[in-house]
Amino acid sequence: MTQPLVIAVVGSGYVGLVSAACFAEIGHRVICVDNDEEKVRLLNDGGIPIHEEYLPEMLGRHRVGNIEFTTDLHGAIKQAQAVFIAVGTPQSDAGDADLSYVDAVATAIARSIDGYKVIVEKSTVPVYTNEWIRRILERNGASKEAFDVVSNPEFLREGTGVTDFLHPNRIVIGVESERAAKVMRQIYEPLTSGAYYDLPHAVPGSRSAASPPPLMKMSTKAAEMTKHATNAFLAMKISFINAVANLCDAAGVNVEEVAAGVGMDERIGPKFLRAGIGYGGSCFPKDVAAFRWVAEQLGHQFDLLAEVEKINCEQKKLFFRKIRSALWTLRGKRLAVFGLAFKGGTDDIRESPAIEIVQMLLKEGCCVNLFDPAAMERAKAILEPGSQVAYVSDIYEAAKGAHAALFLSDWQEFASVDLDRLRQELRHPIVIDGRNLFDPELMSGKGFTYVSVGRPSLAAGVKAPH
Contact by Cβ (8 Å): 171, 213: yes
- Report which of 283, 304, 65, 26 is spatially closest to residue 154, judged by C-alpha positions: 283
The answer to whether residue 248 is catalytic is no
Report, in this order, helix, strand and coil percent for the chain, each rounded to 5: 45, 15, 45
Contact by Cβ (8 Å): 191, 165: no
Three-state helix/strand/coil letters over 360-407: HHHHCCCEEEEECCCCHHHHCCCCCCCCCEEECCCHHHHHCCCCEEEE
How would you classify residue 38: left for phi > 0, otherwise alpha for psi between -120 and 50, otherwise beta?
A: alpha
- Report which of 182, 179, 164, 153 is spatially closest to residue 86, judged by C-alpha positions: 153
- Report which of 286, 280, 410, 391 is spatially closest to residue 342, judged by C-alpha positions: 280
- Report which of 34, 16, 131, 120 is spatially closest to residue 73, judged by C-alpha positions: 34
Q: How far is CA 156 from the centre of its chain?
A: 7
How would you classify residue 383: left for phi > 0, otherwise alpha for psi between -120 and 50, otherwise beta?
A: beta
C-alpha–C-alpha distance, residues 326 and 15, integer Å: 40
Of the residues 283, 313, 366, 367, only one is catalytic, namely 283
Which runs of consecutive H residues, i.e. helices, occur in 37-128?
37-44, 55-62, 73-79, 100-110
Q: Which residues contact 128 (CB under 8 A, 6 or more apart)?
A: 221, 224
For the annotated catalytic residues, the residue numbers are 283
